[in-house]
Amino acid sequence: IPIDTYPNFNFVGRLLGPLLNSLKRVEATIGCHVYIRGKWSIKDIDKKLRGRPCYEHLNDAPHILIEAYLPTNVIVIRLRQAQQIIKELLKPM
């Protein structure tokens, strides 16, 4: 997620969409789970979650994690589709 290039653009909001519709649409289209991870992926106002189990990603740069439990030949195709869709969502307006 190019937050360094566009520091004032809300990439997380753009990826989630209104009522999480954008993210749900991507997941329904490709049949995979899409997670927004890294710094600014959740509101950790007091920074209490950093370093705890399952929250290690908060120390990383913002990124997207895609999980799929499908046959290998199908996963490659679906990941390419996901990559194209997400690249379009990450273009600042």
Average pLDDT over residues 10-26: 83
Instruction: Output the pLDDT for position 17.
Output: 81
- Name the DSSP letter for residue 65: E
Q: Can you tell me the distance from the alpha carbon of 77 to that of 71, in angstroms, rounded to the nearest whole number?
A: 10
How confident is the model over 34-80, as pLDDT tens digits? Answer: 888 887 667 655 566 767 777 777 777 888 888 888 888 888 888 88
Instruction: Output the pLDDT for position 78.
Output: 86
Residue entry with tokens 């990559």: 83
Instruction: Output the pLDDT for position 45.
Output: 54
Average pLDDT over residues 3-17: 82
- Considering the entire predicted model, what is its pTM? 0.73
Domains of the chain (ranges; CATH) run: 11-90 (3.30.1370.10)
Q: Quick one: which H or E segment has residue 55? A: none
CB atoms within 10 A of CB 71: 8
Q: Quick one: which H or E segment has residue 33? A: strand 33-37
Instruction: Output the pLDDT for position 83.
Output: 85
